[in-house]
A = this chain, B = another copy of it.
Amino acid sequence: MSRVYNFSAGPSMLPEEVLKKAQEEMVEYGTSGMSVMEMSHRSKDYQAIIDEAEALVRELMNVPDNYKVLVLQGGGSTQFAMIPLNLAKKNKKADYVITGQWAKKAAEQAEKYITVNRVASSADKTFSYIPKLDKSAFSDDADYFYICYNNTIYGTRYTSLPDTDKPLIADISSCAMSEVIDVSKFGLLFAGAQKNLGPAGVTLVIVREDLIGDAMDITPIMLNYKTHADNGSMYNTPPTYAIYVLKLVLEWIKSKGGIAELQKINEAKAKILYDFLDSSKLFKGTVVPEDRSLMNAPFVTGDEEMDAKFIAAAKEAGFVNLKGHRTVGGMRASIYNAMPVEGVEKLVAFMKKFEEENA
């Protein structure tokens, strides 16, 4: 057996170099005489690992000094509660743009605690575009403004940010470190690691310091950003091994020249795929060209049987996890940082061949 090209939306492909390094160090890490999994989180060896992970996030994303970098548990779904609980004590109100299932879930969870103003939605066309925003729909007294920067399921992404004077909060789970993002424009950014950053079980949160420390009284200690900010993400035992793999991925990103270099590669990869989709008679992309994601490309043939035939043939050929989300149907190729250019080239070559054979 050999490694496949894995187009999973998440958890997803990791750089093979990272896996091999983790493999090499699994039983004994350096001169510690133990696995990273066995290390006390209070040990010097482990402190060096988590410190290095934070330093690399700061370096790679150019995080300003007045932001905290946290590594938490619970995924994006836990952030959906933490954000209103921590950031909306004052006016108990926030603006949300509904660009897909995850933004919708975030808004629904927020509604348990605050008033949610849905300023726009692209639900009318199965979230196949990013809606234009009308500033008159924004709340004057919102505590924050929430977006999902890249929509994993629907394959859309923001190319310009909402013009708001409120703290801008973004779910960057599926685009973190795949393109340059100006952290200073945001109040808070978060990402489940399991797409571009590492294994499932660790969530990166980057939050402006002035937004920390005014949580609602009902906030559980573990859901208060202050708890984690005050304790270097080690109030309790953190997901130590997942953070270690995150560090290896960050080192890999740095070795590739950083985020700007990866962005060029990601743009090239996306262009290969979208150019083919635009020229194909069999396959077509489901997203309006101007809002297409660099990371997640949904496409269809328009014929469910043909879709199924393609997915099965692709799997047989070593291109796996191409089935689309049930709400979109068809196919979806997630081409995160770890997907090499040749993975996309070979997929497109396979699609061309399939198209010829099924003309």
Contact = CB atoms under 8 A, between A and B. Distances in A.
A27 B8 contact: no
Interface stretch (A74-82, A139-147, A259-267, A296-304): A74-82
A81 B238 contact: no
Interface stretch (A13-21, A115-123, A206-214, A347-355): A13-21
Interface stretch (A37-45, A57-65, A90-98): A37-45
Q: Report the copy number of this chain in the oligomer.
A: 2
A220 B81 contact: yes
Most B-side CB within 10 Å, residue of A23, A194, A241:
A241
Interface stretch (A28-36, A127-135, A161-169, A181-189): A28-36
A255 interface: no
A221 B27 contact: no
State the main secondary structure of chain A at its contact with B.
loop
Interface residues of A, number: 69
Contact of A40 (B11, B23, B38, B235): B11
30 contacts: A1-B31, A2-B28, A3-B28, A3-B34, A4-B33, A4-B34, A6-B33, A6-B34, A8-B43, A11-B40, A11-B41, A11-B240, A13-B34, A14-B37, A14-B38, A23-B27, A34-B320, A37-B199, A37-B245, A75-B222, A81-B221, A81-B222, A109-B220, A194-B237, A194-B240, A200-B240, A201-B240, A239-B239, A241-B241, A241-B242
Interface of A: 1-4, 6, 8-14, 16, 19-20, 22-23, 26-28, 30-35, 37-41, 43, 73-78, 80-81, 85, 109, 112-113, 192, 194, 198-202, 217-218, 220-223, 235-242, 245, 318, 320-321
